[in-house]
């Protein structure tokens, strides 16, 4: 989808500038609220799953299979969501997003075992602060931040390659470099994705089919959710090293 600047003259013929601004604000806010709902579901699911494992309700014998199954279902859900974004209904996309949030709560529960509740809380609070600042910047800036998408894609590929290499090397230094790069990449991604949601809403605001805007809203929610979770994980890794 192309990027369109928020200029009054471009839209005066179709809707008022104030109406357009209101629509954009509503959809960006909707994406963020859906993201927050997903994070709450993930956190609650992770908390109860962690307690179930700690109290022996979920035995070690079935813990592994549950994790593998959750990871596979996560991948399937994300792939299906991406493939069906503009083909399925907004309601179906919301359902997939909520399912993914539950599954991610199961897989992320292992962070509680690895780092402890205190570091998890500190990392989460730090992520909230960074997300808020970058989301505001991404929404308010007049610059088209989506031009940095290719650079960020290179960063993601580099992170994946370095992470795969470190599976075999088990290098603390490489882990540190990967974590720092990960924090930088996803900090930028937050601003870019908020900016992209805003641009996409403007680009499709003139269409009579309002359902496309609902799809943009929930698709944006998943993008922001993934940005938040990844930033949180990389911050947690850095804090874990300091401990």
Which DSSP string do the residues of 166-224 spell out, in sequence order? HHHH--HHHHHHHHHHHHHHHHHHHHHHHHHHHHHHHHHTT-S-THHHHHHHHHHHHHH
Asked if the structure places residue 4 within a domain, the reply is no
In a 10 Å sphere around its CB, with 0-12 CB exposed, 13-18 middle and 19+ buried, how is residue 124 labelled? middle
| Per-residue pLDDT, 210 | 72
The 3-state secondary structure of 7-49 reads CHHHHCCCCCHHHHHHHHHHHHHHHHHHHHHHHHHHHHHHHHH
Taking only the tens place, the pLDDT of each residue in 228-243 is: 999 999 999 999 875 5
| Per-residue pLDDT, 9 | 41
Asked if the structure places residue 3 within a domain, the reply is no
The residue ranges of the chain whose pLDDT is under 70 are: 1-15, 207-209, 242-243
| Per-residue pLDDT, 86 | 83
Could you count the other beta carbons within 10 Å of the beta carbon of residue 186?
A: 28
Asked if the structure places residue 176 within a domain, the reply is yes
Question: Which tokens is 90 given?
Answer: 């907004």
| Per-residue pLDDT, 205 | 83
Question: Which tokens is 29 given?
Answer: 């806010």
Asked if the structure places residue 1 within a domain, the reply is no
CA dihedral 32, 37, 39, 45 (to 10 degrees): -170
What's the whole-model pTM score?
0.90
| Per-residue pLDDT, 242 | 56
Which residues have C-beta within 8 Å of that of residue 83, sequence separation ≥ 6?
none
Asked if the structure places residue 24 within a domain, the reply is yes
| Per-residue pLDDT, 14 | 53
**Of 180, 151, 178, residue with least CA distance to 162:** 178
Asked if the structure places residue 216 within a domain, the reply is yes
| Per-residue pLDDT, 192 | 97
Helix, strand or coil for residue 109?
coil
Domain count, the chain: 1
Domain span holding position 100? 13-242
Query: How far is it, in rounded angstroms, from Cα 119 to Cα 54?
Result: 18
Asked if the structure places residue 7 within a domain, the reply is no
């Amino acid at each position: 989808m192309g990027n369109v600047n928020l200029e009054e003259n471009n839209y005066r013929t179709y809707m008022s500038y104030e109406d357009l601004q209101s629509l954009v604000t509503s959809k960006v806010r909707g994406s963020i609220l859906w993201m927050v709902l997903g994070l709450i579901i993930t956190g609650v699911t992770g908390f109860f799953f962690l307690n179930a494992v700690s109290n022996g309700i979920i035995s070690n014998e079935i813990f592994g299979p549950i994790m593998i199954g959750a990871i596979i279902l996560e991948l399937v859900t994300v792939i299906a969501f991406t493939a069906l974004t503009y083909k399925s209904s907004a309601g179906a996309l919301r359902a997939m997003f909520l399912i993914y949030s539950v599954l991610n709560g199961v897989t992320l529960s292992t962070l509680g075992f690895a780092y402890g509740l205190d570091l998890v809380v500190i990392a989460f609070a730090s992520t909230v602060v960074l997300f808020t600042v970058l989301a505001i910047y991404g929404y308010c800036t007049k610059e088209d931040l989506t031009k940095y998408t290719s650079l960020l894609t290179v960063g993601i590929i580099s992170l994946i390659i370095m992470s795969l290499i470190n599976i075999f090397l088990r290098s603390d230094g490489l882990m540190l470099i990967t974590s720092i790069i990960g924090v930088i990449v996803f900090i930028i991604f937050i601003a870019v994705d908020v900016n992209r949601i805003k641009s996409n809403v403007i680009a499709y605001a003139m269409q009579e089919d309002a359902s496309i805007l609902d799809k943009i809203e929930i698709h944006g929610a998943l993008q922001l959710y993934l940005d938040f979770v990844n930033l949180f994980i990389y911050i947690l890794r850095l804090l874990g090293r300091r401990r």
